[in-house]
Homo-oligomer: A and B are copies of this chain.
Amino acid sequence: MAAEVTATELLWGERTAPRRGPRPTLTLESIAAAGIGIADAEGLAAVTMQRVAERLGVTKMALYRYVPGKVELVALMTDLAVGGPPRLDEVGDGWRPRLDAWARRMFERFWAHPWAIEATVGARAIGPNELGWLEQAAAALTGTGLTGSEILDVAATLVGHVRTVAQQGAAISAGSPERAMNDAVVGLLAGREDRFPALVAALADRGGEDQALDFGLRRILDGVELLIDRRR
């Protein structure tokens, strides 16, 4: 393996198998999977080179033969955990049901691996799976009359919403996204009702239903639909 491998090259590169020397015991996939196992169970902070190596029955330093550093390992984990975009064939062929399903599937992935949200903030390398998701959204919107910029912006907006809701839920992993925020906020508001009157009122008459994902999704897609119709 070359001396310097960037995260992007790792994610995208067709790895050249070594011609001589002992067979590698590990693969990038097995390493990433080990990391994912730890992150799923104990969070991203628990993922150390040591812990990952232990899981694989190797020394910490052995990992550096495959991965240049921890950043790159996390990038691999993320791309593998989020996985490729789902098939949307069975969904009807309108752009709206497709985007709706697309967003929901993405939510499920993030929900299953809450640490992935944390791992995808800030500057990072984009993997093939992540780009695949984007491609699918772009495909769904092709032919709607939107410009390229608009198509990308729609995708970005949806991703933002999915991530936000998933994060809120994961933050306090007590069941559902909405309850999480409510519980945290309600405690703070006790005794401060005069300072946050509108907030108190809003929390008092909540429907009790957990619909944070649905709600925003519907609003965003309504907005997009309005734009598409106006264009025609």
Q: Which positions in A face B, CB cutoff 8 Å?
A: 8, 12, 117-118, 121-124, 126, 131-132, 134-136, 138-139, 141-142, 147-154, 156-157, 159-161, 163-165, 167-168, 170-172, 178, 181-182, 184-185, 188-189, 195-199, 201-209, 211-212, 215-216, 218-224, 226-227
Contact = CB atoms under 8 A, between A and B. Distances in A.
Contacts of A153: 178, 211-212, 215-216
7 contacts: A138-B202, A148-B202, A148-B203, A149-B209, A159-B164, A219-B224, A219-B227
Q: Is the interface of A mostly helix, strand, loop or mixed?
A: helix
A188 B152 contact: no
Contact of A226 (B154, B164, B222): B222
B157 A216 contact: yes
Contacts of A157: 161, 164, 215-216, 219-220
Contacts of A201: 138, 142, 148
A116 B219 CA distance: 27
